[in-house]
Amino acid sequence: MAGALLDDLLDWLRIPSISTGGGDPADLERAAAWAAERLRAAGGGVELVRLGDAAPLVVGELRSADPGAPTVLAYGHYDVQGAGDEAAWDSPPFAPEIRDGRVFARGAADDKGNFLPLLHAACDLARRDALPVHVRVVVEGEEEAGSLAVTEWLRADARGADAAIVFDSGMADARTPAITIGLRGIVMCRLAVRCGERDLHSGLYGGAVLNALHVVHRLLAEVVPGPDGGLRGELLDGAEPAAEAERATWDRLPPGAEVLAEVGAIPSDAGAAAEFYERTGARPSLDLNHVEAGAPRTVVPATAHAAFSLRLAPRQRAQALRATIERLLRAALPEGCELELEWHTAEPALFEPGEPAIRLAAEALERACGTPPVLMRSGGSIPIVAELAAKGIPTIVTGFVLPDDPFHAPNESFSLTGLELGERAAHELLHALAALPRP
């Protein structure tokens, strides 16, 4: 592997560009400037686009010598999740370390290490004036916080692209690359309940007054899954089961029971492991993320807060589901209580496996990895992908993260093999997409 790629990655990983709270905005700026500098050094045009107070979007242009070549948009994100409990890390999250053939650091897999090979390959080809396609590079700094700015930018962008490559997902297993043809959408909800002016003594008033924590329980009971793991009918609206032909391809994926055992998880119900891919790829799910209220003493809390998120299956509509949830919550709110809701949504995405760009990409990945990719759905969300789909831009979502690279968790890692495969795959993809119909 080009040592330059690894050195560059270690550099980028040292910048704690956290977008999920608790980070320093100056570090997001530094991480953006770092990516912009790579593009500039390769002779590309670069702009840092600032929308509102969002972290800057890095937008770069690398031109092919062939003016009539198709244009490919290459996307990644430079923001990372917070490190959580630093004591749970074997080495500090922002002091990258190489052990056992992997780089350990926050962002190693999601998404700096996963994306950098794509940026590197494009810059490399540009420097040698050997780009087979025009490349528009978009690196955003708030993917982990909902992608508002990049969504706004893309909606207003009149130029578009003939295809997009997103390096922000994973392989099926250590030998098998994947193209993620489906991603779930999301409706995130934060709620605040107020049921009184102040906290009260639970002995003097208990039994006679509303308790905000009880009210939050009642509201949440309207939306959380039942003991069989299933959601109420209204929340399934619009979700279609995966087609038989697509389901047949899941046989190439590791069995659901293995996937759950690998992370030490307990299946939510008897059917969960066997239906793992159907459940996470083709069905919505709701998870409670946070509840905060009261204190462990004899108090009746006057206020309570909670956060939950509904992952949307392909074809479900975020605004419709958001309205449904709001109706369910408000209907369960006792007289006199106040309910404040804060929302963030992203639409799901699903691409046709037969799409020419996907077919070309599948061949390219087979050349890079020696094994044909599986076309799979992932339960995660990448908000920009639905926007690309809405613009009719066929998008290849792929990447080289493995299930044992715990992104979003302590000891996040990315294998050096993943870096190498990523670089080869990026070269193959950029060459393969030159065969797209000319614009």
Interacting residues toward Mn ion by CB under 5 A? 110-111, 168
Choose between 303 and 345: whose C-beta lies nearer to ligand BES.
345
Nearer Cβ to ligand BES (119/213): 119
Q: Which two tokens stand for residue 135?
A: 């490349």
Q: Per rule CB under 6 A, is residue 281 in the interface with ligand BES?
A: no
DSSP for residue 74: E
Smallest gap from Cβ 383 to ligand BES, in A, equals 6
CA–chain centroid gap for 229, Å, is 23
Those residues whose C-beta lies under 8 Å from the C-beta of residue 244, and which sit 6 or more positions away, are none
Q: Which of residues 119-148 bind ligand BES (CB under 6 A)?
A: 143-144, 146
Find out whether the peptide bond into 111 is cis, omega within 30 degrees of 0. yes
Using the contact rule CB under 6 A, the part of the chain among 85-93, 208-216, 235-243, 373-381 near ligand BES is: 373-381
- Which is nearer to Mn ion, 31 or 325 (by Cβ)? 31
- Compute the C-alpha angle 13/17/19, nearest 5°: 140
Question: How does strand 349-350 pair with strand 178-183?
Answer: antiparallel
Binding ligand BES (rule: CB under 6 A), the pick from 64, 280, 303, 378 is 378
Measured at the CA of 45, the angle between CA 42 and CA 50, to 5 degrees, comes to 125
Number of residues that bind ligand BES (CB under 6 A): 16
| Segment contacting ligand BES by CB under 6 A, of 37-45, 63-71, 230-238, 380-388 | 380-388
Residue of closest CB approach to ligand BES: 380
Counting contacts by CB under 6 A, is residue 380 touching ligand BES?
yes
Q: Which of 164, 146, 123, 229 is nearest to 385 (CA)?
A: 164
> Closer CB to ligand BES, residue 28 or residue 300?
28
Chain centroid to CA 364: how far?
Answer: 24
Q: Taking the complex as a whole, how short is the minimal distance between the CB of residue 407 and ligand BES, in angstroms?
A: 7
Closer Cβ to Mn ion, 84 or 370, answer by number: 84
The least distance separating ligand BES from the CB of residue 131, rounded to whole angstroms, comes to 26
Taking the C-alpha atoms of residue 178 and residue 351, their distance in angstroms, rounded to an integer, is: 14
Of the candidates 185, 187, 160, 171, the one whose C-alpha atom is nearest the C-alpha of residue 395 is 160
Q: Retrieve residue 368's tokens.
A: 């890079």
Q: How far apart are CA 171 and CA 339, in angstroms?
A: 42
Residue 280 interacts with ligand BES (CB under 6 A)?
A: no
Identity of the residue, 91 or 289, whose beta carbon is nearer to ligand BES in the bound complex: 289
User: Least distance to ligand BES from the beta carbon of 183, Å?
Assistant: 6
Q: How far is the CB of 345 from ligand BES (least distance, A)?
A: 9
Do residues 169 and 398 touch, judged by C-beta distance below 8 A?
A: yes
Q: Count CB-CB contacts under 10 A for residue 127.
A: 14
Name which of 118 and 382 has its Cβ closer to ligand BES.
Answer: 382
Tally of CA atoms within 13 A in the half-sphere of 235 that contains its CB: 25
Task: Pick one of ligand BES, Mn ion, none as the site partner of residue 347 (Cβ within 5 to 8 A by kind).
Answer: none
Binding site for ligand BES (CB under 6 A): 110-111, 143-144, 146, 168-170, 180, 186, 346, 378, 380-383
